Amino acid sequence: MAKILEIEFKGSRKAFYANPQDFPFNVGDLVIVQADKGKDLGRVVNMGSLVDQRAGHQQLLEIVRKPGREDLEQVNENHQLEQDAFMDCRKRIEEHGLDMKLVDVEYQFDRNKITFYFTSDARVDFRELVRDLASRYRTRIELRQIGVRDEAKRIGGVGVCGRRLCCTTFLREFAPVVTQYAKEQNLALNPTKLSGVCGRLICCLRYERDFYREVIKRFPETETVVKTSKGKGLLKKIDVFQEKVVIEYANQEEERIGLDELNTLLSASKTKKKKKKKKTGKGKKREGHQQDEPQKDSGH
């Protein structure tokens, strides 16, 4: 039996829990676990040796039991209560004139706590709102400000690739993504195409960055002068997948050539330059020698 399990809660929130009673679980099973001053319900998403390594030696809360029929009925009731609380809180936000957007509401399984998630461009003084909500629901109230990426993670959705958002499936933390990653991959800096549903740069720009940085070392820099049978041109574009480049000539004509052909042309050009330098060097030595000889004769 797995001693440590990874449990997922609403909004893709995940945490590790100990299984001291050795309950038999499979991935996808619902579980009731210890929570902050109460109990909560989640779903098993991972178990095994890798989970044990990632959990480390930290002190873990424990799994209490498997949910029964009454527990599942309470979960369904909680979902309905969350919808009602969402509508109620949104009205109260408007009444207080607060500059904040309510994103989600989450009831703890035992209803000892309700968490309201919101986004805002600035800090919000919501103390009066908390008092109103506490007097209405008679339980512990928590308002938590999150970012736009966390909003997408909680709500979920589908990316431009046609798959579920990475942040709702496997991404545990958000790493910074900058426009430099797009430049390194020769992508057009079009905000519409490079932005995710959260409005920020898509996280997958990081995934292939190491590949592009490694492969691009095999190519010369753009704007490099290349001499071909058609004349001199500039290297304008690089296709790392087909291993080809686009050469643009002075008359705006473009030509695609392979990487091997490009390297051959560049090496031939370097060889010619070296030969010219050698010839120039020999010519200078001869001129110097001819200038020295009259000086020797004049000495006699």
Q: Helix and strand tally (H, E) in the chain?
A: 9, 12
Q: How many CB atoms lie within 10 A of CB 171?
A: 15
* Beta strands 113-119; 140-145: pairing state: parallel
What residues contact residue 209 under an 8 Å CB cut-off, 6+ apart?
181, 184, 185
Q: Which two tokens stand for residue 64?
A: 């209490």
pTM of the model: 0.73
Which is nearest to 206 in space by CA: 181, 184, 185, 183? 181
pLDDT tens over the chain, length 300 residues: 688 999 999 888 889 999 988 888 999 999 999 988 899 999 999 888 888 888 888 889 999 999 999 999 999 999 999 999 999 999 999 999 999 999 999 999 999 999 999 999 888 899 999 999 999 999 999 999 999 999 999 888 998 889 999 988 888 788 899 999 988 888 888 888 899 999 999 999 998 888 888 888 888 888 888 888 888 889 888 888 888 999 999 888 889 989 888 888 888 877 776 666 666 655 555 655 555 555 555 444
Amino acid 300: pLDDT:
46
Q: Provide the β-strand partners of residue 256.
A: 246
- Listed by start position, the domains of the chain span 4-67, 73-146, 152-209, 221-266
Q: Which stretches within 185-258 are classed as H helix?
A: 191-194, 209-215
Which is nearest to 239 in space by CA: 263, 262, 256? 256
Q: How many residues does the chain have?
A: 300
Amino acid 188: pLDDT:
84
User: In what side-by-side order are the strands of the sheet with 140-145?
Assistant: 101-107, 113-119, 140-145
CATH topology of domain 73-146: GMP Synthetase; Chain A, domain 3 (3.30.300)
CATH topology of domain 221-266: SH3 type barrels. (2.30.30)
